Structure 1
Protein backbone atom coordinates (compact mmCIF):
# COMPACT_ATOMS: atom_id res chain seq x y z
CA UNK A 1 0.00 0.00 0.00
CA UNK A 2 2.88 2.32 0.75
CA UNK A 3 4.22 1.82 -2.78
CA UNK A 4 0.84 2.82 -4.20
CA UNK A 5 0.92 6.18 -2.42
CA UNK A 6 4.50 6.87 -3.49
CA UNK A 7 3.71 5.93 -7.09
CA UNK A 8 0.58 8.08 -7.18
CA UNK A 9 2.47 11.03 -5.69
CA UNK A 10 5.20 10.72 -8.33
CA UNK A 11 2.73 10.45 -11.18
CA UNK A 12 0.63 13.39 -10.03
CA UNK A 13 3.66 15.68 -9.87
CA UNK A 14 5.19 14.48 -13.13
CA UNK A 15 2.10 15.49 -15.12
CA UNK A 16 2.23 19.01 -13.69
CA UNK A 17 4.93 19.84 -16.24
CA UNK A 18 2.57 19.06 -19.11
CA UNK A 19 -0.18 21.28 -17.71
CA UNK A 20 2.01 24.39 -17.57
CA UNK A 21 0.18 27.06 -19.63
CA UNK A 22 3.28 29.28 -19.81
CA UNK A 23 5.17 26.68 -21.85
CA UNK A 24 6.09 28.51 -25.07
CA UNK A 25 6.83 26.72 -28.33
CA UNK A 26 10.15 27.36 -30.02
CA UNK A 27 10.20 29.58 -33.08
CA UNK A 28 10.84 26.68 -35.49
CA UNK A 29 7.68 24.93 -34.29
CA UNK A 30 5.68 28.14 -34.73
CA UNK A 31 7.08 28.47 -38.25
CA UNK A 32 6.09 24.88 -39.10
CA UNK A 33 2.55 25.44 -37.83
CA UNK A 34 2.29 28.79 -39.63
CA UNK A 35 3.41 27.29 -42.95
CA UNK A 36 1.12 24.28 -42.50
CA UNK A 37 -1.86 26.55 -41.90
CA UNK A 38 -1.08 28.68 -44.96
CA UNK A 39 -1.08 25.53 -47.08
CA UNK A 40 -4.44 24.41 -45.68
CA UNK A 41 -6.35 27.19 -47.45
CA UNK A 42 -6.70 28.31 -51.04
CA UNK A 43 -4.87 31.63 -51.51
CA UNK A 44 -8.05 33.46 -52.46
CA UNK A 45 -9.89 32.31 -49.30
CA UNK A 46 -7.05 32.78 -46.82
CA UNK A 47 -7.37 35.69 -44.41
CA UNK A 48 -5.82 36.64 -41.07
CA UNK A 49 -8.79 35.35 -39.08
CA UNK A 50 -8.69 31.87 -40.65
CA UNK A 51 -4.92 31.72 -40.33
CA UNK A 52 -5.02 32.74 -36.66
CA UNK A 53 -7.74 30.17 -35.89
CA UNK A 54 -5.72 27.44 -37.59
CA UNK A 55 -2.51 28.34 -35.73
CA UNK A 56 -4.34 28.52 -32.40
CA UNK A 57 -6.04 25.16 -33.01
CA UNK A 58 -2.65 23.56 -33.59
CA UNK A 59 -1.22 25.25 -30.48
CA UNK A 60 -4.09 23.91 -28.37
CA UNK A 61 -3.47 20.38 -29.65
CA UNK A 62 0.05 20.50 -28.24
CA UNK A 63 -0.96 22.34 -25.04
CA UNK A 64 0.74 25.60 -25.97
CA UNK A 65 -0.78 29.02 -25.26
CA UNK A 66 -2.71 30.63 -28.11
CA UNK A 67 -2.07 33.94 -29.86
CA UNK A 68 -4.27 37.04 -29.91
CA UNK A 69 -3.27 38.19 -33.40
CA UNK A 70 -1.39 37.18 -36.53
CA UNK A 71 1.12 39.93 -35.71
CA UNK A 72 1.90 38.08 -32.46
CA UNK A 73 2.40 34.85 -34.41
CA UNK A 74 4.71 36.56 -36.91
CA UNK A 75 6.71 38.07 -34.05
CA UNK A 76 7.48 34.52 -32.86
CA UNK A 77 8.77 33.35 -36.25
CA UNK A 78 12.53 32.82 -36.54
CA UNK A 79 14.49 35.86 -37.64
CA UNK A 80 16.48 34.64 -40.65
CA UNK A 81 17.93 36.59 -43.52
CA UNK A 82 17.14 34.79 -46.75
CA UNK A 83 17.53 35.96 -50.31
CA UNK A 84 14.25 36.37 -52.14
CA UNK A 85 13.40 33.40 -54.34
CA UNK A 86 13.21 35.53 -57.46
CA UNK A 87 16.54 37.32 -56.94
CA UNK A 88 19.00 37.26 -59.80
CA UNK A 89 22.39 35.73 -59.07
CA UNK A 90 25.32 36.98 -61.13
CA UNK A 91 28.96 35.97 -61.24
CA UNK A 92 30.14 39.58 -61.24
CA UNK A 93 31.65 40.88 -57.98
Structure 2
Protein backbone atom coordinates (compact mmCIF):
# COMPACT_ATOMS: atom_id res chain seq x y z
CA UNK A 1 0.00 0.00 0.00
CA UNK A 2 1.35 3.37 -1.01
CA UNK A 3 0.19 6.92 -0.36
CA UNK A 4 1.43 9.96 -2.27
CA UNK A 5 1.78 13.33 -0.55
CA UNK A 6 2.58 16.35 -2.70
CA UNK A 7 3.37 20.00 -2.02
CA UNK A 8 1.98 21.77 -5.09
CA UNK A 9 2.07 19.60 -8.23
CA UNK A 10 -1.05 17.44 -8.14
CA UNK A 11 -0.67 16.49 -11.81
CA UNK A 12 2.70 14.83 -11.15
CA UNK A 13 1.25 13.00 -8.15
CA UNK A 14 -1.68 11.74 -10.24
CA UNK A 15 0.60 10.60 -13.08
CA UNK A 16 2.83 8.78 -10.61
CA UNK A 17 -0.20 7.12 -9.05
CA UNK A 18 -1.38 5.85 -12.46
CA UNK A 19 2.07 4.49 -13.35
CA UNK A 20 2.37 2.69 -10.02
CA UNK A 21 -1.14 1.27 -10.31
CA UNK A 22 -0.29 0.10 -13.83
CA UNK A 23 2.60 -1.88 -12.32
CA UNK A 24 0.25 -3.54 -9.83
CA UNK A 25 1.17 -1.34 -6.86
CA UNK A 26 -1.74 -0.30 -4.68
CA UNK A 27 -1.28 3.49 -4.74
CA UNK A 28 -4.41 4.30 -2.80
CA UNK A 29 -4.42 8.00 -2.12
CA UNK A 30 -3.05 11.42 -2.95
CA UNK A 31 -2.97 14.29 -0.48
CA UNK A 32 -1.62 17.84 -0.58
CA UNK A 33 0.69 18.66 2.34
CA UNK A 34 2.29 22.04 2.94
CA UNK A 35 5.93 22.39 3.90
CA UNK A 36 7.42 19.43 2.03
CA UNK A 37 11.11 20.26 1.56
CA UNK A 38 12.46 17.07 -0.07
CA UNK A 39 11.35 14.11 -2.10
CA UNK A 40 11.11 11.35 0.52
CA UNK A 41 9.94 7.81 0.92
CA UNK A 42 8.66 7.22 4.43
CA UNK A 43 7.99 3.91 6.15
CA UNK A 44 6.84 3.14 9.68
CA UNK A 45 8.16 -0.42 10.07
CA UNK A 46 11.92 -0.92 9.97
CA UNK A 47 11.35 -4.18 8.07
CA UNK A 48 9.98 -2.08 5.16
CA UNK A 49 13.36 -0.49 4.39
CA UNK A 50 13.95 -2.90 1.50
CA UNK A 51 10.54 -1.98 0.03
CA UNK A 52 11.47 1.70 0.28
CA UNK A 53 14.80 1.02 -1.45
CA UNK A 54 13.05 -0.95 -4.22
CA UNK A 55 10.58 1.89 -4.72
CA UNK A 56 13.42 4.43 -4.86
CA UNK A 57 15.22 2.32 -7.47
CA UNK A 58 12.02 1.92 -9.49
CA UNK A 59 11.54 5.69 -9.57
CA UNK A 60 15.13 6.14 -10.82
CA UNK A 61 14.93 3.59 -13.60
CA UNK A 62 11.31 3.22 -14.72
CA UNK A 63 11.02 4.39 -18.31
CA UNK A 64 7.19 4.32 -18.26
CA UNK A 65 7.12 7.29 -15.93
CA UNK A 66 6.37 10.11 -18.34
CA UNK A 67 6.78 12.75 -15.71
CA UNK A 68 9.72 14.72 -14.45
CA UNK A 69 12.37 12.65 -12.73
CA UNK A 70 11.66 11.91 -9.09
CA UNK A 71 15.06 11.52 -7.48
CA UNK A 72 15.21 10.27 -3.90
CA UNK A 73 18.55 10.03 -2.11
CA UNK A 74 19.36 7.38 0.50
CA UNK A 75 19.18 10.02 3.24
CA UNK A 76 15.57 10.64 2.17
CA UNK A 77 14.43 7.12 2.97
CA UNK A 78 12.81 8.09 6.25
CA UNK A 79 12.42 5.40 8.93
CA UNK A 80 9.54 6.40 11.22
CA UNK A 81 9.55 3.13 13.19
CA UNK A 82 10.74 4.84 16.38
CA UNK A 83 7.93 7.44 16.28
CA UNK A 84 5.21 5.09 17.54
CA UNK A 85 3.02 5.05 14.42
CA UNK A 86 0.74 2.04 14.12
CA UNK A 87 0.98 1.29 10.41
CA UNK A 88 0.56 -2.12 8.76
CA UNK A 89 3.75 -3.67 7.34
CA UNK A 90 4.23 -2.84 3.67
CA UNK A 91 2.66 0.61 3.81
CA UNK A 92 4.82 3.44 2.43
CA UNK A 93 4.44 7.11 1.62
CA UNK A 94 6.09 9.11 -1.14
CA UNK A 95 6.44 12.82 -0.37
CA UNK A 96 6.97 15.07 -3.43
CA UNK A 97 8.42 18.54 -2.96
CA UNK A 98 7.15 19.92 -6.30
Same fold, judged at TM 0.5 (above): no
| Higher CA-based Rg | 1
* Bigger strand share: 2
Ranked by relative contact order (alpha carbons within 8 Å, sequence separation 6 or more), the top structure is: 2
> What TM-score, normalized to structure 1?
0.31
> What TM-score, normalized to structure 2?
0.30
* Bigger helix share: 1
